[in-house]
Amino acid sequence: MDLLGFARGPALKVALAIFCLGVVWRIVGFALLRLRRDHNAPRRGVLAFLTGGLVTVGSRSWPHPEFIARTGAGEALGYSYHIGLFIVVLLFTPHIIFLGSLFGFTWPGLPSSLITVVSVLTLTLFLAVLFRRVTNPVMRMLSNFDDYFSWLITALVLLTGLAATAHIGGPYEKLLAVHILSVDALLIWFPFGKLMHAFYIFPSRAINGALLARKGAVS
Amino acid sequence: MSRLTDIPIRIEGPAIAGGPPGGPRSDPAPSPGLDFGVSSSGVSAILTELARLLDQLAEKDMPAAIDLRSLPLSSQDRIELERALGNGEVEASVNADGISTLRETRFCGVWWVAHRDAQGDLIAELLEVTRVPELLACSADEIAAAAHTLRERLSVAARPC
Amino acid sequence: MSQGKSELTVGEMLLQHGISRRRFIKFCTATASALALPPWMGPAMAEQLRNSPRPSVIYLSFQECTGCVESLTRSFAPTIENLIFNFISLDYDDTLMAAAGEAAETARAKAMKDHFGKYVLLVDGSVPTGAGGAYCTSGGRSAEDTLREAAKGAAAIVCVGTCSSFGGIPFADPNPTGAWPVSAIVGDKPIINVSGCPPMPEVITGTLLQFVTTGQVPDLDEHRRPKVFFGNTIHDRCYRRPFYDQGKFAKTFDDEGARNGWCLYELGCKGPTTYNSCATIKWNGGTSFPIESGHGCIGCSEPGFWDKGSFYSPLSSAAWGKAGEVAPRQVLELTAGAAAVGVALGVASAGVSRLRQRHREQRTDNETKGS
């Protein structure tokens, strides 16, 4: 079996299995945890408790005005590369075909040259983000292995994808195999690092919002 | 729509090399400053290469050739190239399984050679950089064979009937 | 087939056929151009060939469909007639030669003996080793034995077609006859693989001509294929590439996109991973090639192409199934199974966490009560 066959075949199968297993494990494990009993009386009703969560999901999408000066740039950077990643992953025709082969349905894509431009921009933003993490003293102090490794794995997927599309760095079938292998690696790492924020972000904001609403606090 | 040729195919991108060259074109008088007015980078590249090959021919007597079919030339490029190279003093046609035309360009040593098969289709087209294209010359063994044949004919003709 | 005539030089042979030196130079120039060889090779080929005796060539056919010989006889440059009569002495080919049976075998044995160490061995078809080689026999001898014997005196072996180069269709899963490519059987001779199912006629004849003219094995890639013909992928030279770059893909075989000649990537074209000259030299004297005729490349010059999944499954799709293809249902089963295990692990982890939480609360309660 050649490298490409391995990457698209057994490696992908194992990676997908580990991804599903890990994500479900963490979500179920997290969902079944008990909240510490709050002996205070609730300040607001049940309805506020429920809607409070939903409001928080929205309100935490952008920093409060007092903090924008300090964190606005970082937020904007984050949004930009996330949007870039979504465009590249979901609107590039070969990716649509790949996802279609898993799910059984496809959707229209964007011109491939446009995707290349977006990829390059996203990769540049990725480098900017790393630069910020390393030069900002607070971020540097807070950063751990998970932060850097998750960054590296995602950046590698972007980089190898660009190399494959541009046919730079070797024969095409090897470039494609390396790109698919990097995606397999990402899938395997995903449930065990901070990339899980993809699944946690909305439930965690909702729960925090609900708890704060119960206490009568604004979130 | 039932035939291959009915399917409209539109190719977007630089045009691929055009068809057969026309016959010898009338040579516009060469301008004194040898200003080609060449706008295509492809044609400039060919001319630059020809200059290098001519140097090589002059210094080391080493012939060379450029295969025009291997280059992506648009029809506009061909016209420019023909105009830039012009015509020299020699034009030859060789009848060997179809007509091959060998036209010296205005640059001595650069020959525009077009080979056609018996049906008249173009089968090869080159720019040869050489003193005389190989196709025109005679080889030693052919000359010897010809001398032998001629002597035989002469000796037969000389015999009394 | 000529026997005993291979001592004449090619030039002498040509003159006998009334082919002048000029006709020959023109022919070689046109051939070199058609095969995208360097332009100086034409006259050089002509000069070299004219002064050499015609090399003896022996063509052995094993587990094959004869498609390769069919392709060879359709070559436009040089034509097979030109090749057989002018450049090579084809001393044995069981499809093309007039002799048969013992007479043919005797001719082969004589050619091999007379030109030992110098003849070019062409092989098409794979070599079955199962059942003691009984799956392919000729004249009472197995293919494997015939190949080993013929290889001993060969100057080089040219494998014509994917079957002899990589095993081809007989080698495909489950390979019931124990088929192997030539390179798995013969290890000590230079081997040139001219792969393809069938290989392009001009590639076969061009490679032969190159070897015969220069006497040297040309530059080969990692699969031992001549780089001059197998150095680029179909995708690299495909005229539909602008559509690929623009993201314009045909979705079915008769839709608007297909009729406008859009890229066939979504219909399974293997052009990006296939190395061959179909997009430049094209088939039937430059008429067309599969993609131009509306069907994606099936990757027939690559090793194991029969086992790489459906011809209609795009290159970027998942491919771990038995036939290299994966149905969404299989994906569902895999993910559901993994998720089930995940649920079990999640419940267990949560259980452990809650137990620890309870112990901690009890300890705190006890400490509070105790103080």
Can you give the residue ranges of every domain in chain B?
38-158
Our CA angle for B15, B22, B89, nearest 5°, is 125
Contact (CB, 8 A) for C191 and C157: yes
Q: Which chains touch C (3 or more CB pairs under 8 A)?
A: A, B
- Assign 3-state DSSP to chain C and report helix, strand, coil percentages, each to 5: 45, 15, 40
Name the interface residues of C facing A (CB cutoff 8 Å). 233, 235-236, 244-249, 265-266, 272-273, 303-304, 308, 313-320, 324, 326, 328, 331, 334-335, 337-339, 341-343, 345-347, 349-351, 353-354, 357
* CB-CB under 8 Å, C294 with B7: yes
Among A5-14, A38-47, C75-84, C228-237, the minimum mean pLDDT is found in: C75-84
pLDDT at C331: 87
Query: Which stretch, A120-124, B30-34, C86-90, has highest mean pLDDT?
Result: A120-124
Q: Are strands C179-180 and C127-128 parallel, antiparallel or unpaired?
A: antiparallel
Residue B7: pLDDT over 50:
yes
Q: Which of A204-213, C271-280, C291-300, C362-371 has the lowest mean pLDDT?
A: C362-371
Return the structure tokens found at C27: 């022919």
Q: Quick check: B37 pLDDT over 80?
A: no
Q: Judge whether residue B67 has pLDDT over 60.
A: yes
**What one-character DSSP code corresponds to residue A218?**
-
Q: What is the pLDDT of residue B31?
A: 39
Higher per-residue confidence, C273 vs B12: C273
Nearest residue of B to residue C30 by CA position? Answer: B124
Q: Between residues 264 and 293 of chain C, which touch chain B (CB distance below 8 Å)?
A: 288, 293
Residue C39 and residue B67: Cβ atoms within 8 Å? yes
CA distance B115 to chain C (A): 7
How far is the C-alpha of A75 from the C-alpha of A70, rounded, in Å? 10
Nearest CB among A16, A27, A28 relative to C335 is that of: A16
Which residues of chain B are within 8 Å of residue C237 when distances are taken between CB atoms?
none
Residue of B nearest to C76 (CA): B123
- Per CB-CB distance under 8 Å, the chain A contacts of C326 are 101-102
Tell me the DSSP string of C168-194. Answer: HHHHSTT-TT-EE-HHHH--SS-EEEE
pLDDT at A63 over 70: yes
Report CB contact under 8 Å: C249, A93: yes
Read off the pLDDT of residues C147-188 as tens digits, 9 standing for 90 and up.
999 999 999 999 999 999 999 999 998 999 999 999 999 999
Which pairing describes strands C141-142 and C137-138: parallel, antiparallel, or unpaired? antiparallel
C259 vs B8, B63, B70: nearest CB:
B8
pLDDT at A42: 83
CATH class in words for C232-326: few secondary structures
Q: A102 and C316: CB-CB below 8 Å?
A: no
CA atoms within 13 A on the CB side of C330: 13
What is the dotted CATH code of the domain comprising B38-158? 3.30.1370.140
| Residues near B60 by beta carbon (within 8 Å), at least 6 away in sequence | none
Instruction: Note whether C33 contacts B: Cβ–Cβ < 8 A.
Output: yes
Which amino acid, one-letter code, is at C243? Answer: F
**Domain C10-228, CATH 3.40.50.700 — does that match?**
yes
Q: What is the pLDDT of residue A96?
A: 93
Q: C22 touching B, CB under 8 A?
A: yes
List chains touching A (3+ CB pairs under 8 A). C
pLDDT of residue B157: 86
Candidates C17, C20, C21: best to mutate against B (most CBs of B within 10 A) is: C21
Query: The tokens of B72 are what?
Result: 């992506």
Q: Does any CB of chain B come closer than 8 Å to the CB of residue C30?
A: yes
How confident is residue B150, by pLDDT bands cut at 50, 70 and 90?
very high
Query: Which ranges of chain B would DSSP assign to H, the alpha helix?
Result: 41-60, 75-85, 140-158
Which phi-psi region, left, alpha or beta, contains residue C93 (left: φ > 0; alpha: ψ -120 to 50)?
Answer: beta
Q: Which helix (H) or strand (E) holds A59?
A: helix A46-59
Task: Report the residue of chain A nearest C309, measured CA to CA.
Answer: A5
Residue A159: predicted pLDDT: 96
Distance CA C133, CA C129 (A): 5
Q: Which pLDDT belongs to residue B17?
A: 39
Burial-class residue C101 by CB neighbours within 10 Å (0-12, 13-18, 19+): exposed
Q: How high does pLDDT run on average in chain A?
A: 90
Cα torsion C103, C104, C106, C111 to 10°: value is 140
Nearest CA in chain C to A100: C317
The total of other beta-carbon atoms located within 10 Å of residue B13's CB is 11
Burial of residue B161, with CB atoms counted within 10 A of its CB: 0-12 exposed, 13-18 middle, 19 or more buried = exposed
Bridge partners of residue C160, in order along the sequence:
C124, C194
DSSP category for residue B13: S
Yes or no, beta carbons of A16 and C339 under 8 Å apart: no
In sequence order, what are the beta bridge partners of C156?
C120
Q: With contacts defined as CB-CB under 8 Å, which chain C residues touch A109?
A: 247
The interaxial angle of helices A65-91 and A145-166, nearest 10 deg, is: 40
Segment A101-124 shows an average pLDDT of: 91
Q: Which residues of B touch C (CB under 8 A)?
A: 1, 4, 7-13, 16, 63-67, 69-70, 94, 96-97, 100, 115, 117, 123-126, 134-135, 139, 141-142
Does A86 touch chain C if contact means CB atoms closer than 8 Å? no
pLDDT band at B1 (very low <50, low <70, confident <90, very high): very low
Residue numbers in A near C245 (CB within 8 A): 112-113
First to last CA, chain B: 74
Which residue reads 């900002």 in tokens? A136
**Is residue C81 very low, low, confident or very high in pLDDT (cuts 50, 70, 90)?**
low
How many B/C residue pairs have CB atoms within 8 Å? 76
CB contact under 8 A, A102 and C354: no
Split at pLDDT 50, 70, 90, the class of C77 is low
Q: Which residues of B touch C279 (CB under 8 A)?
A: none
Chain B partners within 8 Å of C36 (Cβ) = 70
Grade residue A134 by pLDDT with cuts at 50, 70 and 90: very high
Q: How far is CA C22 from CA B97, B98, C50, C54, in A?
A: 10, 11, 12, 19
Residue C36 in contact with partner chain B when CB distance is under 8 A: yes
In the predicted model, what is the mean pLDDT of residues A150-165?
95
Query: Whose CA is closest to C179, among C219, C139, C144?
Result: C144
Q: Which domains does chain A have, with CATH numbers?
A: 3-35+46-214 (1.20.950)
pLDDT of residue B23: 35
Q: Do chains C and A touch (3 or more CB pairs under 8 A)?
A: yes
> Using a CB-CB distance cutoff of 8 angstroms, which residues of chain C are in contact with residue A31?
346, 350
As a whole number of angstroms, the distance between CA C47 and CA C29 comes to: 11
Contact assessment for residue A52 and residue A197, using Cβ atoms and an 8 Å cutoff: no
Mean pLDDT, residues C209-222: 83
Say if C259 is an interface residue toward chain B (CB within 8 Å).
yes
Distance of CA C334 to the CA centre of its chain: 35
A 10 A CB-CB count for C368 gives 8
The pLDDT score that the predictor gives to residue A129 is 92
Q: Across residues C59-77, what is the average pLDDT?
A: 86
The answer to whether the Cβ–Cβ distance between C315 and A176 falls below 8 Å is yes
Three-state SS for C156?
strand
Asked if C246 and B13 come within 8 Å (Cβ–Cβ), the reply is: no
Between B21 and B115, where is the model more confident?
Answer: B115
Mean pLDDT of C119-139: 93
Q: CB of C229 within 8 Å of any CB in chain B?
A: no
Lowest mean pLDDT among A101-105, A160-164, B38-42: B38-42
Q: In B, which residues are within 8 Å of C42 by CB distance?
A: 65, 124
pLDDT at residue C93 in the model: 82
**DSSP strand pairing (C191-194 vs C154-160):** parallel
Cβ neighbours, 10 Å, residue C203: 27
* Torsion angle defined by CA atoms of residues A34, A37, A43 and A46, in that order, rounded to the nearest 10 degrees: 40
- How much is the average pLDDT of A148-159? 96
Size of interface A-C (CB pairs under 8 A): 137
